[in-house]
């Protein structure tokens, strides 16, 4: 992979701002992670679950100007806003679309471009924006659109440009799941390894689906897990597409992106009992398993 720094316009991302006196408690009672641990110097992955413990949305959450900002694919923003709004009742909370823009920085030397956070999932101020360190070589800068454009202009002379598919592949190689409309309600967090990237707290209080998510964790009955694979297929596998072991469906594509070597790299949630067997797309393309960036339990 090219190690020179790259800049990516993350225009496919959208943002919600949750503000108000009760915002922290409101989110604490609805999401899978411990919002109380989130401060101005940290970010966290988080999710909304159904009463049956299935993920309805996933997002990156951080603080900005005292408010809580939820970042997710644009096509999920209205869905999440509608779901959160159902629970407001008399809480002193406002939920609004946030007019923000995100820039992705990646590469082994990305850390040297700006005064960026040193620790993974740490945040810090950069010019008029917020920077989040997502991995050792991947960062985001979030600001209002005008200032984001100014920051990007400063960086362009020192970086190669890349597009959404490049950034998506970096996330896939980091095995970061994202709930999309096609996969909404399909996975308990552990199926998507969401607890392994810090998206679930098993010590916090109740939230929708908490009983099932926690019971699944402590009883250890995880029959499906997300894996990283490459497929030499002529057409990109779509989120929600089934994968097969023999004639039987054994899992689901979570997300995919083109590989520079050809074909596609994918994240797929599959039955663990079939992990050692041949698993294929419906088209017949074989899933060639790749090493995960973290250990599966």
User: Which CATH number fits the domain that encloses residue 217?
Assistant: 2.40.30.160
- The answer to whether position 178 is within a domain reads no
Q: Do 160 and 200 belong to one domain?
A: no
- Domain end (from 173, 208, 236): 173
- The answer to whether position 294 is within a domain reads no
Domain limits at 31? Answer: 6-173
Q: Do 164 and 227 belong to one domain?
A: no
User: Which CATH number fits the domain that encloses residue 13?
Assistant: 3.30.1360.120
Q: Tell me how far CA of residue 297 lies from CA of 45, 109, 224, in angstroms.
A: 19, 32, 12
- Per residue of the chain (297 residues), what is the pLDDT tens digit? 446 899 999 999 999 999 999 999 999 999 999 999 999 999 999 999 999 999 999 999 999 999 999 999 999 999 999 999 999 999 999 999 999 999 999 999 999 999 999 999 999 999 889 999 999 999 999 999 999 999 999 999 999 999 999 999 999 999 999 999 999 999 999 999 999 999 999 999 899 999 999 999 988 779 999 999 999 999 999 999 999 999 999 999 999 999 999 999 999 999 999 999 999 999 999 999 999 999 998
| Cβ contact 88:26 at 8 Å | yes
Q: In the structure encoding, which two tokens stand for residue 142, read together? A: 């979030």
- The answer to whether position 136 is within a domain reads yes
Identify the H or E element spanning 78. Answer: helix 74-85
Q: Do 104 and 240 belong to one domain?
A: no
Quote the CA–CA distance of 186 and 218 in Å, as a whole number.
Answer: 21
Q: Do 32 and 168 belong to one domain?
A: yes
- The answer to whether position 52 is within a domain reads yes
Q: Do 261 and 127 belong to one domain?
A: no
- The answer to whether position 153 is within a domain reads yes
- The answer to whether position 32 is within a domain reads yes
Q: HSE on the CB side for 219, CA within 13 Å?
A: 9
Quote the CA–CA distance of 235 and 262 in Å, as a whole number.
Answer: 11
Q: Do 158 and 198 belong to one domain?
A: no
- The answer to whether position 297 is within a domain reads no
Q: Do 15 and 161 belong to one domain?
A: yes
Overall number of domains in the chain: 2
- The answer to whether position 31 is within a domain reads yes
């Amino acid at each position: 992979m090219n190690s020179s720094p790259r800049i990516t316009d993350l225009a496919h991302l959208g943002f919600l701002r949750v503000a108000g006196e009760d915002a922290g408690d409101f989110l604490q009672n609805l999401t899978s992670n411990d919002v109380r641990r989130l401060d101005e110097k940290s970010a966290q992955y988080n999710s909304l679950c159904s009463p049956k413990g299935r993920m309805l949305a996933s997002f990156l959450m951080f603080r900005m100007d005292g408010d809580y900002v939820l970042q997710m694919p644009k096509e999920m923003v209205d869905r999440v806003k509608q779901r959160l709004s159902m629970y407001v009742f008399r809480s002193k909370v406002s939920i609004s679309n946030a007019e923000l823009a995100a820039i992705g920085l990646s590469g082994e030397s990305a850390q040297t471009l700006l005064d960026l956070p040193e620790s993974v999932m740490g945040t810090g101020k950069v010019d008029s924006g917020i920077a989040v360190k997502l991995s050792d070589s991947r960062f985001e800068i979030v600001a209002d659109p005008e200032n984001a454009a100014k920051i990007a202009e400063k960086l362009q002379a020192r970086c190669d440009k890349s597009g959404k598919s490049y950034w998506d592949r970096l996330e896939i190689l980091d095995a970061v799941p994202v709930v999309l409309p096609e996969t909404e309600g399909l996975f308990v967090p552990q199926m998507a390894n969401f607890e392994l990237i810090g998206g679930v707290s098993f010590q916090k209080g109740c939230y929708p689906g908490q009983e099932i998510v926690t019971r699944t964790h402590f009883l250890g009955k995880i029959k499906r897990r997300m894996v990283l694979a490459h497929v030499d297929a002529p057409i990109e596998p779509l989120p929600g597409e089934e994968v097969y072991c023999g004639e039987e469906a054994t899992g689901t594509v979570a997300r995919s992106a083109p590989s520079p070597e050809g074909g596609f790299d994918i994240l797929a949630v599959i039955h663990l009992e079939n992990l050692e067997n041949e698993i294929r797309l419906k088209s017949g393309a074989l899933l060639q398993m790749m090493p995960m960036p973290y250990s599966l339990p």
